[in-house]
Structure formats: structure tokens, C-alpha cells
Amino acid sequence: MSASNANTSKLIQVEYDDEIVRMFTMATIIWAAIAFLIGVFVAFQIAVWQLNFNTGWLTYGRLRPVHTNANIFAFAGNAIFAGIYHSSQRLLKTRMFSDFLGRVHFWGWQFIIVLAAITIPLGLTQGKEYAELEWPIDILVAFVWVVFAINFFGTLLKRNEKHMYVSIWFYIATIITVAVLYIINAISLPVSFSKSYIVFAGIQDALVQWWYGHNAVAFFLTTPFLGLMYYYLPKAVNRPIFSYKLSILHFWSLIFIYIWAGPHHLLNTALPPWLQTLGVIFSVMLWAPSWGGMVNGLLTLRGAWHLLRTEPIVKFLVAAVTFYGMGTFEGPLLSVRSVNAIGHYTDWIVGHVHVGTLGWNGFLSFAMIYYIIPKLWKTELYSKKLANIHFWLGLLGILLYYISMLVAGITQSLMWRALDNNGNLVYPEFIETVIRIIPLFYFRAIGGVLFLGGFLLLLYNIYKTMKLSSHDLKNETVQINATPQTVSLSEHGHRRLEGMAATFTVLALIAILVGSIIEIAPTLSIQKYIKPEKKVASFTPLELEGRDIYIKEGCHNCHSQMIRPMHSEILRYGKASTIEESMYDRPFQWGSKRTGPDLARLGKKYPDLWHYMHMINPRSVIKESIMPAYPWLAKKRTNFFGLRKKISLLNNMGVPYSEKELADADIMAEIQANEIAESLKKQGVKENVADKEIVALIAYLQALGQKGVQ
Amino acid sequence: MSKDTAKDEPVLGYEYDGITEYDNPCPAWLMYIFYSTIFFAVFYLGYHFGSIKSEKLQGTAAVTPPATTIQAEEKPLEMSEAQVTALLTDPVALAKGKEVYASKCSSCHGGAGEGLIGPNLVDNYWLHGSGKTSEIANIIISGIPNTGMAAWRGRISEENILQVAAYVKFLKGTKPENPRDPEGKLIEE
């Protein structure tokens, strides 16, 4: 468009690509059903260990990441795409840039989900939370995301609306930041097609992982959903957005501050204190910018509150935004070091996350689904009453879930910390603190059942609604006034920026890169934080293989390896963990949840036979244990030969190995395995298990905390 | 709230798919929260970096367990053999010892002392010490390094340790099923 007709607008006809929105909406609903179902199942697994069925791919350690990935990437992911494809076309007054890229995006994403659903239960995992997918799938994710980005920014460039509405800002921030986060966090070197080692080690990996993990919450579960909220909430209540100024302020402050807050997942650990301090202050400063979204949403409802009584969509939106407010208040609170000392590693964090995912992401997506389906299937919703029941069931489910986890978390944490008058632990046996909260695990699972039950009503309601619709679904075609994109000099400040998509995107990129670089760059030279006199030995080849089995079985989902410098932890587990002790760990194992005890100094605490019996059946040594049994470890053979490649790769990445270890990794591993098997035999194990995985795992467990100062 | 400042005047000339925006200012109370958190951040930053201690900036500050715990670890239990032997005839003490044994010891030494992961406690063979009750009590309290026998100091009270030691002594000579083979040296009493 030329500058000469800058102030004129012309009437043109635009046909939206609604088919792609219908596809993503259907995918959202289908994956949600699966993701919620797995969620309920893993919740019951924690309460009832028998539900692990002594079967590898059905154990909690493997299914928990299936649950998280399914909810984040399959359910929330498809919901985001449905909403972005639906609202962007309308906000930008144009069809998507490319129908073909849209289909590549759709089918590519569903293919990734299927691959994830197959590989994660098989134990093919990088062992990093919400980033479990192995490297070939990571490449696929990056590719599909780039396809999406091209399609979105292409649409942005051919828009017929000069200014970008606030939803679009949030979409821009989402797309660029997720790309940066995902790619950097996944950088790894492959050993084989199904196994790789992350390039970052120890604190580097801890920091990068939680920079990613925290901002996956920020830029996958928050910013895109805020964008959706800014479209669907005013649409549903037909009211103007409360404050344009607040939109600007909270958008920029949110994306700038959010990216810094990752280290709050590592408070009171061995992470250098300056990073912990940054994590605390940026998390606290995040409170108001987050609430900006809630406030702008809720105040937009002024004058339309009566709709809350009659419109289930409004109910879902209000509850979603309120849960967002609750979660974003609790987040900064949990980022205060002393509060974090109580909450970290407990179920409180699990509860906190579910306020966000079930309440904010779940309910907002349900509102969007109830809004989009009748619109795009050209009919009315089959039953408002069912949608209302869905709302109340879901709400009750979330509250039951959250309250039970909050109580469980605080109860257990206080038991971990309780000291008697002599300075001894009141509950020295970890299992005592588990037994106490098992009833709450049942309440949590029941909360999940209610939430799932509500969702089944949605399924039925949507099915009936689609039945009502005619089979010939046409794309929506509208007459629009195309406004030219040329920069007008009469505009100032932010308004002008809203007309400049490329500049806007670059500024958003800068906003998220500042915090990222300042926090991550210094730790890339890890040597600065390693005291030479405190360096530790690397794992032997067999121990390394055991470590890979540990990660494959998902042990890190329930066990941390980070003794925090707190009196009660030192009494319970031994002296505080140091940076040096995890300097070769790929991925790091500091963990995020202690369903079982910390294992940082487990080595030599029990005899080999204890571990053997514990793995075959945990109840044989700890009667009330809720840990799954791992009998297959005594049957599956260890892949000794593969160790040569692993050891030489790790050596190239800076882990010190001797010439002998490099040349004969497999032979050395077999020798060590024979020694352990021999000792097991002496103690009464009848089978020869030298070449079985259980021996490698025992070697690793016995090495934990034993690598000492070299 | 900020009803007085929210005049609800629309931003004119802009609408997106029917959505318009008001030109209201940010609510004052929210801005105060924002300013307060920034103030807190500056203060907290100053608090942590202002009082420069190199240890604070580099690596974790060392935390030592309190002195009482350290002292306790070095001190063996003081008791006379007669004092613990007396417990053998005290049914209350034996009952308590049995209870503690069942919860803490049986997973390795078997429910009836027959031995499982650890040695049996019923025969006349001893790996450590000569089977005196006071020796048993001290093994329980200090553990045997690198054998898996944990030090139970702090996890079982001293009173209960004596009771368990008495109960272990009481088990000696019983004949449980499937005992582990004898280990250590034979000590006849």
C-alpha cells in the first residue's frame, strides 16, 4: 500500500480459514480427555502403589511426564493454537498467511504428541522436566514451531488492520520466547537415535532447565492464555477492555520480569546466592504485572456481572481469571526464601501448579471451547445446563485438589523439619511423613475425578452440539475496511509501535533476552563456581549406566539429590550438597519433588542386598512404602557395549576419564558388576545378576555422595 | 478501588473485531503494589549485595549443625552392663524394645531375629564385639561404617536404644525359621 492513500480505507472481502480452527479445537478436546485421564490415574498411583502393576511403562515415574507433557503440549498447546488461529484472523482482518503451513503445523504437532506418548512410557527421556522428549523429537518440535511462526508472522505482515490489538502482542511474545527457550534448553549431543546427553552440566543445567521450566509456565501457559483472555472475555460479555494503559504496562512489565524468575525453583540449594537473590526479587516484582491481567479482565466485566448468573462461559472466564490471580499471588509468596524452604519439594508446589493449569488454563480453554464450537459449527450450544454443571464440578474438583495438596505439603514439610528438645528429628523415618499424608492423596485424586467428570459433560455437550449443526460448514466471510499499514507520523508512543509489527517483535525479543543473558551467561563458564580443591571424581562406567537407568525409570520424579543447607536436612540426609558434587551431572538431579527421600548421600547407607530387595519389592524392607516395585530390573540385561560411546562422548564434554576407562569402558563395567553380583550372591541372592540392570543401578545408588573431594 | 478515576471514556477510533478499549488509568492500588515490590527488590538487593561477603556471592555459605549434635556424635553411651541386663527382666522395657525392633530393625535382621540383609541375632556368633548388651547398645547407637548398619543416634531415643539392646539379647538362643548362616566368631558364654 502506498503512502498516498494512507488515510483512505477500502472495502474488501476476507474469507477466514475456519477449518484449521475446527481441527485444532477438536484436537484440544480429544487430547484433554486423555491428559486428564492420565492425571487422575497417576494421582491414584501415589495413593495406591498397586496401581503401578509391576510394569515398566505403567509406573508413575514414566507416566508422570506423560501426564505433564500431555497437558502442557497436547491439551494447552492445541487450545492455544485453536485460539490464536481463530482470533488472529479476526483481529488482523485477514486469512492466515498459508493454509498449507497451517496444516503442516497441525499434523506436525499431533505427530509429535503421538511420538511423545510412545517414547516417554518406553523410558526414552532426557530427564528434564517438561523437556523430556529425546533429541530427534526436539528437532521436530523446533521445526513445527518455526512453521507456526512463519505462518503467524506472515499473517501479521499481510494484515488489513493497521494496529495490533493486545492479544496479538501476547501471541508475538509467546512465539519468539518459546522458540528461544525450547531450543536452548534442548541442546544436547546424541549417543544414539534414542539417547543423548545435555550439553549443560550441574548448576548450568539446573539454571537453564528452570529458566526454561519456569518460562514454559510463563510463555506457554500464561502469555498465550492472556492473549486469549483479551479476545474471548470482551467478546463474551460485549464490554470494552477496562484499561488500554494497563494492557500496555502489564504486557511489557510481565514479559520483561518473568524471564528472570526461574531461579526461584532453586532457592536454598547450591545455586550461587546472587542468582537466588535475583530469582526472589523478580518473582516478587512479578506480582503486580501478573495481577494487571486479572484486574483488566475482571474490571472489563463491570456492567456485565449479571451474565455470571446466566452464561456458563462467563462463569468459566471469571473463575479462570480469579485462579490466575490466586496463582500469581501464591507464586511470589513461594519465592520468598523462608516460605520456599517450607514449600519446596512438597505437594504444596503440586497444588500451586494445578491452580494454574486446572483453574486458569483449563477453565479458560473450556470457555473458549464453549464459545468457538457453536460459532464455528454454526449452531447453538446443546445445553447450557450441562455446561453449568461442568463448571461446578470442575470448581469443586480444583478446590479439593488444591486444598488437599496445600495441607499435605505443609504437613509433611513441618514433619520433615520438626526437632525435639534434644535437637533430634521428631520423625527421623521419611516413611512416617508419607503415611501421614496418604489420606490427602485420596482427596486429591477425588478432586481430579470431579474435574474429569465435568470435562466428560463437556464432551457429551459438544458432541450433541455438533450433531445439531449442518454438515456443510462454510468458512466465515466478512466485508472489512482494510486500513493501510503505513506508519503514520501523527501517532506517538505505544500506538505507533502497535503499527510496526517487526519493531514490536524485536523489542519483545530484547525484553526477554536481557534477563536470560544476565542470568545464564556467567554460569556458562562453570569453572568459576567450582573450587579446584573440592572437585569430585566422575562416575565409573557401570555407575554411569546405572544413572541412565535411574533417569530412564523416572526416579527423579520422586527423589531429589540436593541437601539444602538447613539444619533439619543436614540431620536427616548429611552435609549440604555442593556445586562440585553435581558438576558432571547431565542432566542435573536436584529434583523438584520429594515423594520419597533425598538421595544425594544414599551411597553406602544400606548394603547391596538391601537395594536389591528394595528394588524387587520395596515393601520387603520398608513395610509401608508407596514406591513402585521394579522387578524387571533383575531381568533386563545391561547394555555394557554402549558404554564405550557414552564414556567417550562425556569425556569430550569435559568429564574426566582415564585412558583405560576410555578404551575399556564396557570391560571395566563388567568387572565392577561381577563384584557387586558376587557380594549379592554371598548375601543370599540365588540368581546371577551380574549382567542385569539392577546391578548397574545399585552401583550408581551406592556411589551417590561417595565421590568425595579429589 | 479506583472508581473515581475510572471515567470509562473509550479510546476513540480503534476497535478490533468489535472489541473496544477504555482509556482508564491503571488502578492506583495496583500501582502501589507494583512500586512496593520494586522498593522491596531494591532493598533486598542492597541487603544481599551491600554487606559484601565473598562467601555470600560465591558458593553456598557453610552451615554447620548445632554444637549439641556434634558433641552427641562423639560420645558413646555410658552404662554399666548390670544396668542393661536388669532390663531383661523388665517386661515393660522388653515390650517397648520389641516394638522399636519391629519398626526399625526387622527389615534387615528379620522379624524374629533370623537375619535377612543383616546377620541373624539368635546364634552365638558375633561379627562385632562379644555379645554383651552394652556392646549391642553401642553398635545400635554408633552403627558399623560401610556395612549398612546405621547409626541410630538421634533417630531412636537413648532409653529406647537400651530397651532394643535388651530385646536383642533376649532374642539370642531362640530358634526362628530360616535363620541366616552364622557369621563372625563363636563366643560361648
Name the average pLDDT for chain A: 94
A559 and A411 within one domain: no
The three cell numbers of residue A204 are 548450568
Within this chain, do residues B126 and B84 fall inside the same structural domain, yes or no? yes
DSSP letters for A364-424: HHHHHHHHHHHHHTTS--S-HHHHHHHHHHHHHHHHHHHHHHHHHHHHHHHHHH-B-TTS-
Judge contact between A653 and A199, C-beta under 8 A: yes
The answer to whether the CB atoms of B27 and A161 lie below 8 A apart is no
Q: Examine the domain organization and report whether B95 and B164 are in the same domain.
A: yes
* Whether B28 contacts chain A with CB within 8 A: no
> Hey, what amino acid is at A309?
R
Which stretches of A526-603 are DSSP H helices? 541-552, 567-573
Reported as a pLDDT band with limits 50, 70 and 90, residue B50 is: low
Q: Note whether B29 and B88 are same-domain residues.
A: no
Q: Are residues A567 and A474 in the same domain?
A: no
Mean pLDDT across the stretch B8-14?
A: 84
For residue A453, give the H/E element and its range.
helix A430-468
B101 and B159 housed in the same domain: yes
Question: Does the CB of A435 have a partner CB in chain B at under 8 Å?
Answer: no
Chain A residue with minimum CA distance to B44: A281
A417 contacts in chain B (CB < 8 Å): none
Residue A509 dihedral angles phi and psi, to the nearest 5°: -65, -45
List of chain A residues whose C-beta atoms are within 8 Å of the C-beta of residue B30: 246, 288, 291-292, 295
A249 touching B (Cβ < 8 Å): yes
What sign results for the dihedral spanned by CA atoms B71, B74, B79, B84? positive
Per-residue confidence (pLDDT) for residue A483, from 0 to 100: 74
One domain, residues A425 and A539 = no
Strands A188-192 and A195-198 turn out to be antiparallel
Judged by CB atoms within 8 Å, which residues 328-357 of A form the interface with B? 332
User: How far is Cα A552 from Cα A633, in angstroms, rounded to an integer?
Assistant: 12
Domain boundary among the residues B37, B63, B89 is at B63
Q: Are residues B47 and B92 in the same domain?
A: no
Residue A314 domain-assigned (yes or no): yes
Q: Which of A287, A566, A579 sits opposite B33 (nearest CB)?
A: A287
Mean pLDDT throughout A229-236?
Answer: 97
| CA distances (Å), origin A668, targets A647, A653, A657 | 12, 21, 12
Domain that holds residue B88: 77-186
Q: Is residue A507 scored above 90 in pLDDT?
A: yes
The whole-number pLDDT of residue B74 equals 54
Q: A159 lies in a domain?
A: yes
Name the β-bridge partners of A593.
Answer: A345
Residues of B with CB below 8 A from A578's CB?
59-60
Q: Residue B117 and residue A90: Cβ atoms within 8 Å?
A: no
B168 and B125 within one domain: yes
Same domain membership, residue A504 and residue A405: yes
Q: Is residue B68 part of a domain?
A: no
Structure confidence at residue A4 (pLDDT): 40
Give the model's pLDDT for residue A116: 97
Q: Is residue A7 within 8 Å of A490, Cβ to Cβ? A: no
Using a CB–CB cutoff of 8 Å, tell me whether B67 touches chain A: no
Q: Say if residues A185 and A220 touch (Cβ distance below 8 Å).
A: no
Write out the DSSP string of A26-70.
HHHHHHHHHHHHHHHHHHHHHH-GGGGTT-GGGSHHHHHHHHHHI
pLDDT in tens, B138-167: 899 988 887 888 888 888 888 899 999 999
C-alpha pair distances (Å), A379 with each of A370, A371, A383: 12, 11, 12
Residue A709 within any structural domain of the chain: no
Do B146 and B57 share a domain, yes or no?
A: no
User: Can you give the pLDDT at residue A578?
Assistant: 93
8 Å CB contact between A379 and A463: no
Average pLDDT over residues A257-286: 95
Residue A80 within a domain = yes
User: For B93-108, how does the pLDDT look when each residue is reduced to its tens digit (9 = 90+)?
Assistant: 999 999 999 888 888 8
- A423–B14: do the CB atoms touch at under 8 Å? no
CB of B19 less than 8 A from some CB of A: yes
CB A448 within 8 A of CB A397: yes
Q: What is the pLDDT of residues A543-594, one digit of tens each?
A: 999 999 999 999 999 999 999 999 999 999 999 999 999 999 999 999 999 9
Q: Furthest-apart CA pair in chain A: how many Å?
A: 93
Q: Is B68 on the interface with A (CB under 8 A)?
A: yes
A245 and B38 in contact by Cβ < 8 A? no
Q: Is the pLDDT score of B55 beyond 80?
A: no
> Which three three-digit cell numbers place residue B95?
515390650
**Position A524 in a domain:** no
Confidence check: pLDDT of B70 > 50 = no
The answer to whether the CB atoms of B147 and A683 lie below 8 A apart is: no
Please report the residues numbered 602 through 661 in chain A whose beta carbons come closer than 8 angstroms to any beta carbon of chain B: 604-607, 609-610, 613, 620-623
Do A572 and A458 lie in a common domain?
A: no
Q: Could you tell me which chain A residue has the CA closest to the CA of B143?
A: A605
Task: List the grid coordinates of A608.
Answer: 547391596
Average pLDDT over residues B123-141: 88
Q: For residues A212 and A172, give the distance between their C-alpha atoms in angstroms, rounded to a whole number.
A: 18
Query: In which residue are the cell numbers 496445600 written?
Result: A406
Q: Is residue A511 part of a domain?
A: yes
pLDDT at B11: 84
Ranges A33-42, A342-351, A365-374, A532-541: which has the least confidence: A532-541
Same structural domain, B53 and B93: no
The structural domain count of chain B equals 2
pLDDT band at A401; cut points 50, 70, 90:
very high
A169 with A31, same domain: the answer is: yes
Q: Are the beta carbons of A589 and A556 closer than 8 angstroms?
A: yes
CA A488, distance to chain mean position in Å, is: 42
Q: What CATH number is given to the structural domain containing B81?
A: 1.10.760.10
B177-188 pLDDT, tens per residue?
A: 888 888 888 887
Query: Most B CBs within 10 Å: which of A84, A244, A535, as the mutation test of the B interface?
Result: A244
Q: Flag whether residue A153 sits within 8 Å of chain B, measured between CB atoms.
A: no
Looking at the fold, whether A598 and A623 belong to one and the same domain comes out as: yes
Instruction: Locate A36 and state its grid cell.
Output: 486428564
Q: Determine, yes or no, domain membership for B69.
A: no
Span A655-671, mean pLDDT? 95
CA distances from A570 to A243, A431, A523, A591, A676 (A): 51, 18, 26, 17, 29
Residue A473: its pLDDT value, please? Answer: 84
In a domain, B71, yes or no: no
Q: Check: CB of residue A440 under 8 Å from CB of residue A352.
A: no
Same domain for B163 and B81?
yes
Q: By the CB < 8 Å criterion, does A685 face chain B? A: no
Give B37's contacts in chain A (Cβ within 8 Å). Answer: 284-285, 287-288, 332
Structurally, how many domains does chain A consist of? 2
Distance CA A387, CA A371 (A): 11
Q: Which domain holds residue A579?
A: 534-703
Q: Is A252 on the interface with B (CB under 8 A)?
A: no
> Which three three-digit cell numbers place residue A687?
540368581
C-alpha span between A523 and A347 (Å, rounded)? 30
**Could you say which of B48, B117, B154 has the minimum Cβ distance to residue A613?**
B117
Same domain? B101 vs B175: yes
For A157-204, what is the HEC assignment? HCCCCCCCCHHHHHHHHHHHHHHHHHHHHCCEEEEECCEEEECCCHHH
CB-based contact B20 A620, cutoff 8 Å: no
Q: Tell whether A35 is covered by a domain.
A: yes
pLDDT over threshold 50, residue A609: yes
Q: Which of A18, A253, A430, A606 has the most B C-beta neighbours within 10 Å, making it the best mutation to test the interface with B?
A: A606
Question: What does the pLDDT read at residue B59?
Answer: 42
3-class DSSP state of A243: strand
Quick check: A7 pLDDT over 70? no
Instruction: Give the nearest chain A residue to B28 (CA atoms).
Output: A246
Q: Do B147 and A607 touch (CB under 8 A)?
A: yes
What is the Cα–Cα distance from A369 to A361, expressed in whole angstroms?
12
A567 touches chain B (CB under 8 A): yes
Please tell me the predicted confidence (pLDDT) of residue B54: 47
For A12, the 3-state DSSP assignment is strand
Residues A685 and A584 in one domain: yes
Note whether B19 contacts A273, CB cutoff 8 Å: no
- C-beta of residue B114 within 8 angstroms of C-beta of residue B180: yes
**pLDDT tens figures, A416-442:** 999 988 888 999 999 999 999 999 999
3-class DSSP assignment, residue A395 = helix
Q: Classify each residue of B75-91 as buried b or exposed e, where b means 16 or more C-beta atoms within 10 Å of its C-beta.
A: eebebeeeebeebeeee
Same domain for A158 and A14: yes
In this complex, the residue of B59, B107, B157 whose CB is nearest that of residue A272 is: B59
Q: A243, A617, A621: which to substitute to probe chain B, counting the most B Cβ within 10 Å?
A: A243
HSE at residue A64, side-chain half, CA atoms within 13 A, is: 22
- Confidence check: pLDDT of A485 > 80: no
Q: How confident is the model at residue B73 (pLDDT cuts 50, 70, 90)?
A: low
* Chains A, B: CB pairs < 8 Å: 172
Residue A202 in domain: yes
B130 and B91 fall within a common domain:
yes
Task: Please answer yes or no on whether B45 and A281 come within 8 Å at the CB atom.
Answer: yes
What is the structure's pLDDT at B156? 87
Q: Which of B16, B38, B63 is the last residue of a domain?
A: B63
- In this prediction, residue A587 carries a pLDDT of 96
Strands (E) across A567-652 are located at none
Q: Per residue in A54-76, pLDDT tens?
A: 999 999 999 999 999 999 999 99
Query: CA angle, corner A200, sides to A196 and A204, nearest 5?
Result: 150
A241 touches chain B (CB under 8 A): yes
Q: Which of B63, B88, B115 is the last residue of a domain?
A: B63
The domain spanning residue A311 has which CATH number? 1.20.210.10
Mutation to test the A interface, candidates B14, B17, B42, B140, most A Cβ within 10 Å: B17
* A594 and A447 belong to one structural domain: no
Residues in chain A closer than 8 A to B103 (CB atoms):
429
Share of residues in chain A with pLDDT > 70 (%):
98
What element of type H or E holds A257? Answer: helix A244-258
Is the minimum CB–CB distance between B29 and chain A shorter than 8 Å? no
CATH number at residue A589: 1.10.760.10
Q: Does B178 touch chain A (CB under 8 A)?
A: no
A231 shares contact with chain B (CB less than 8 Å): yes
For cell 506472515, the residue is A154
Q: Residue B72 domain-assigned?
A: no
Flag whether B12 is in a domain.
yes
Q: Name the residue among B26, B65, B116 with its Cβ closest to that of A571.
A: B65
Look at residue A155 and tell me whether its pLDDT is greater than 80: yes
Report the residue of chain A nearest B43, measured CA to CA. Answer: A281
User: B155–A292: do the CB atoms touch at under 8 Å?
Assistant: no
Q: Are residues A488 and A545 in the same domain?
A: no
**Nearest chain A alpha carbon to B183:** A683
Check residue B17 and give its pLDDT.
Answer: 93
What's the CA gap between A415 and A572, in Å, rounded?
12
Q: Are A488 and A574 in the same domain?
A: no
Angle (CA) A327 A299 A326, round 5° = 10
